[in-house]
Amino acid sequence: MFGRCLTGSRIAFLLGWITLLLNHVLPAASLECNSEKQLENRENQLKDTLLCKGYRTNVRPRKDHTQTVNVTVAYYVLTYEFEESDNLLQLGVWMELQWTDEYLRWNSTEWSGIERLAIGSEEIWMPDFRHFSSYYNPEDLNECANPKCSVAPNGTVVCLPVCGMNAKCDADYSRWPFDVHRCNLWYGTWANSMDEVDVHILDVCLGRNPEFKSPKWNVISLATGRSVVQSSDNYMYNVLNVEVMLVRRASYEYVAIVGPILVLALFNVYIVWLRSISFERKVLLGLSIFSHFSYLKQLEWALPYNRDTLPDCMIFMVCSTVFTVLLLIFTLLNCWIRTRLRRESTTGSFIDRITGSFSQSRVAELILAADYLELSYKVTQEEKENFWARLGKLIDRALAIVCVIVYIFLVWLFIPFNHELDELSGVNCVISA
């Protein structure tokens, strides 16, 4: 997995950086015990003394077996990428493991002032520290680079493995393209209980080098947690958690997806300000319905494929499509009402009295006084006096007002304009690689 996350240049850069970190450590090749040629070197003599006289890599480095080996971990996220098709987070991680090995101690004054010793991880005891929550693909298993370790005279061992890791995420696309995803990685010891090996995460840091950043995603929070689980044989094991929170860098998606949605909404608002009996209104409503269905099909390909959460912008489009169909139905109904213009006016009827009373109010004057958005529209005396004409115009105005209110509500409810974030721990540690 890690090979797919890092390009060749990034790998070379990363390995070069780790080499610089260990530059102060005296170089040492893998030791062959009892090799007379190698023992001519003072450093190899020290390694022979430490490793070739009963040292065992499968035994905890404690002379008193009741004592616990305390391991501290510094966790550095160098590269990251999120695969939307699988809701899979891929990480390039550099870890710094540190513990004390009581069998790897020496007096530097007796050994020509040697203060650091480079030893391969396969030559010494290593903590059984594993990633539990990795999502494995059949073709490619996650691995950590076999690191060199630095050993100090007091027995302090520091190892720097570089690992490619991945984990399934709790993906939430409801506010797409301002979506936020929480990804949890779980770590712990596989064979040793916490009485034997106790692991703690000290730091969780993020690499800030531009060449390591994802062009599409941004890490806004790195948090750690620690819990304890009990096995069936009553042994206690600690489980460490690293939570990575990602947000999408919304740019192209917002313009290319949300922009046309808002244009279709404004198009409907314009349409309802045309007369219901006009031919243009019916044609444009039919065109709007066709555009809505076509764009829904387009969104099916553009939006992330996820069956758990439906993006709010898709819900907006469905509501807008249904509302456009209703506008067409009410337009046809109002056309039938306006055809009564040619019939005898029903002056004196109950409906006419209510309509007339309402039309005389100041609110109705403002609503009815506005002209239709038609270049060829002219107000006739007959339309002013006929009851059905006044009712038809009142329905047109009511539909226009309802249309504006509905779209304001839908935009407020379903169209995101920024990321919605709860209280976050943030990224408290940033490093330059």
For the chain, give the mean pLDDT.
76
Spatial distance between the Cα atoms of 334 and 330, rounded to a whole number of angstroms: 6
The domain limits of the chain are 39-247, 250-343+358-371+378-412
d(CA 250, CA 254): 6
pLDDT tens-digit series, residues 3-56: 344 344 454 454 454 444 444 444 444 556 655 555 667 888 888 888 888 888
Type of residue found at 81: E
pLDDT value at 116 more than 60: yes
pLDDT at 375: 45
Asked if pLDDT for residue 387 goes beyond 70, the answer is no
Identify whether the C-beta of residue 108 lies closer than 8 Å to the C-beta of residue 115: yes
Residue 219, C-beta contacts closer than 8 angstroms, at least 6 positions apart: 77, 80, 206, 244, 245, 246, 427
Confidence of residue 282 (pLDDT cuts 50, 70, 90): confident
Q: Which CATH architecture has domain 250-343+358-371+378-412?
A: Up-down Bundle (1.20)
Report the C-alpha dihedral over residues 19, 23, 25, 31, rounded to 10 degrees.
50
213-266 pLDDT tens trace: 788 888 888 888 888 888 888 888 888 888 888 888 877 777 788 888 999 999
128 near 192, Cβ under 8 Å? yes
Highest-pLDDT range among 79-83, 172-176, 351-355: 79-83
pLDDT-based confidence at 135, cuts 50/70/90? Answer: low
Nearest to 364 by CA among 390, 383, 341: 390
Cα–Cα distance list, 169 to 135, 158, 219 (Å):
10, 31, 14
Q: How far apart are CA 152 and CA 277, in angstroms?
A: 90
Nearest to 198 by CA among 128, 121, 280: 128
Residues 17, 23, 25, 30: is their CA dihedral positive or negative?
A: positive
Domain 39-247 has CATH 2.70.170.10: yes
State the pLDDT confidence band at 373, using cuts at 50, 70 and 90. very low
Distance, CA of 400 to CA of 269 (rounded, Å): 7
End-to-end CA distance of the chain: 21
